[in-house]
Amino acid sequence: MSDGETPSLVEIRAITDRALRIQRFLLRRAWGVLYAALSISMFVTVFWVPIAALLRLSEFAIVPLVIVHMLPSGAAVIVILLAFRRIRDTAEIHSIVTVSKWNKVLGYKYIVSIWVAIYAIVIASIIFTGAVSSLLLLSIYVAVWGYFYYALRLSFPNRLPSEGIAALSSLGIAAVGSIVVLLFFPEIRSIIGILWGANILVWVTAAVYARALRPRDAVEESLP
């Protein structure tokens, strides 16, 4: 297209497709940060008690248990917000073609509100019952799964990336599988550690894969 000429519909479509590929690439890398940050948070939440026992430490030897869980998850929230903030302007690219809401759902208002709500429930449980039940924590993870599914669908409306599908699937299996074990097969509850260990491994792998993507991958990827 030379200067002064009006671009054809084919040229406009080609430019738009390229812009959407670039945004998809940036979003996948940002989600990679989320997978990495939350895999660390999940590891601490799930395995802190056995690690403390292995090291012959009381769960409350250094800081209260709630703070032990809140620190990594709070750090994860900050890292996630920074990752998506860097690419928030690309939402304008997508809005040229269709309405995009991922920038709101993955913004600080939603994420911080969810984080505060989760720990408000946890703290309330400790105040009124003196402990946090495993079923409560697993129910929270089921709710978090629903939120991530919604956010991924908004981020990738045409097709979920493979690493996103893997992360969602493993989290769902770990959460629901653990609930089933606790309710119906408590004698083999040790399998819960295997489920969550495998889930965390999948999330770490998804993070590495997403962060390893390069701009060429975005250009070559076909859009449905």
pLDDT confidence bin for 61, thresholds 50/70/90:
very low
Whether pTM > 0.85 for this model: the answer is: no
Mean pLDDT in residue range 23-36: 92
The pLDDT of residue 7: 57
Q: Is the dihedral of CA 25, 157, 102, 161 positive or negative?
A: negative
CA atoms within 13 A on the CB side of 149: 11
Amino acid in position 139: S
The token duo for 168 is 């969602």
Q: What is the pLDDT of residues 166-202, one digit of tens each?
A: 999 999 999 999 999 999 998 888 899 999 999 999 9
* Distance (Å, whole) CA 151 – CA 171: 15
CB 155 within 8 A of CB 31: yes
Residue range 41-56: mean pLDDT, rounded: 71
Q: What is the pLDDT of residues 68-103, one digit of tens each?
A: 778 888 999 999 999 988 887 655 555 544 446 777
